[in-house]
Amino acid sequence: MNTINYNPDIAIHPGVTLKDTLDSLGMSQKELAERTGLAIQTVNKIIRGIDPITPETAVKLERVFGTSAAFWNNLDRSFQESTARIKAEKKLQEEYSLARKFTCYSELVQWQYVPEARDIKEKTNNLLRFFGVNSLRTVDQLNCIAFRKSEKKSISRECVSAWLRCGELDVQKKDSKSKSKEYDQKKLIEFIDEFRKLTLLEPEEYGRKIKTISEDCGVNIVFTPYIKKTYINGATRWINNNPLIQISPRFSFSDIFWFTFFHELGHIILHGKKDKFIEFDFDMSHEAKEKEANDFASSKLIPEDKAKEFFVKNDIDAKSLVDFAKNVGIHPGIVAGRLAHEGKISWNGAGIFRQRIGLKNQEA
């Protein structure tokens, strides 16, 4: 048997029923006050919809009218619930304009972070549950990261907030299965060379091993699908007492992935727990801590003494590039990517060395 939930758009105070009962019996408010021992002002306020019918008052009304106390209690409870629901509905409607700004909703559905929505009301409710907030206005406050603007591209704060929330949910899901280990910075530093060696592996293999090693050091790492209008490479922040590295497939090349990963490691090792960082795909090296993280990534991937000796050459060919990469123990695509970034070779020329990551959701 199908049931239909009836939710009226008005809340009827139990005082209305009390007044109807008095009128039908020809009983005055004063007489009711005398029979129940209630103050006349209390009876009047209930009838005017100012005061509730308390459980104690319900028992007194039961004795006067013969109707059960549960009847009067249910009337009041129904009124309170209807009032709260109507208030919540009005508040929810005020959120609709904010929910419409989350143009990434279909992508969140695609990656199974939120369910499909039939209308704006359902979409808004789903977003509130997704962020775990009572109002979407608080989302920016929760993600208190300085959003840096690109002169060339318009970043959606809402989409960035959604992407960051995906990372938090992924960590929560992981922690529900096994608690994160205590963060060990000394151990993390000791594993830097191990991370470098992983660059020689295929993406499917190094992706798993990065997580294993990182989590053994108490560092959570999640690979979150790219969301349009975010232009994000990666982000770093601390959740509870563990650092979280979140990386997106902004571009489908291993050298960019590895530089982003080491850049985020730099933030963890060099900077404090209170600092939160988000890296977009444009240059932010003018900011001190971003430059420090960039320098950390560059020097750890390719030792600076060897880089200076090799990168000054004007006759770098394919063989010398491969030999150099082999000598420093890193994938040649990373060397090619840096050479192209510094203008030593063209990006087209670097393409034959760069390793592609098999990810489909990229945006130029």
Res 274: pLDDT:
76
Tell me how far CA of residue 245 lies from CA of 196, 221, 266, in angstroms. Answer: 17, 5, 11
Q: Compute the distance between CA of residue 42 and CA of residue 59 in angstroms, rounded to an integer.
A: 15
Q: pLDDT 10s digit of each residue in the chain, 364 long?
A: 444 454 556 889 999 999 999 999 999 999 999 999 999 999 999 999 999 999 999 999 999 999 999 999 999 999 999 999 888 888 999 999 999 999 999 999 999 999 999 999 999 999 999 999 999 998 866 554 544 434 446 788 899 999 999 999 999 888 777 788 899 999 999 999 999 999 999 888 898 899 999 999 999 999 999 999 888 889 999 988 899 999 988 778 899 999 999 999 999 999 978 788 888 765 555 578 888 999 999 999 999 889 888 988 778 889 999 999 999 999 999 999 999 988 888 999 899 999 888 644 444 3
Alpha-helical segments (H) within 26-156: 29-36, 40-47, 55-65, 69-99, 105-110, 120-131, 139-142
> E strand or H helix at 172, and its extent?
helix 157-177
**264-284: burial string, b at 16+ Cβ within 10 Å, e else:** bbbbbbeeeeeebbbbbbeeb
Res 152: pLDDT:
43
Question: According to CATH, where is 1.10.260.40 located in the chain?
Answer: 14-94
Q: Compute the distance between CA of residue 29 and CA of residue 23 in angstroms, rounded to an integer.
A: 10
- Give the pair of three-digit tokens for residue 301: 């991937």
User: Which region, left, alpha or beta, applies to residue 309 given φ > 0 means left and ψ of -120 to 50 means alpha?
Assistant: alpha
Architecture of domain 14-94: Orthogonal Bundle (1.10)
**Considering only CA atoms, which of 336, 360, 338 is closest in space to residue 251?**
360
Res 8: pLDDT:
58
Task: Output phi, psi for 202, to 5 deg.
Answer: -75, 150
Res 97: pLDDT:
95
Res 148: pLDDT:
44
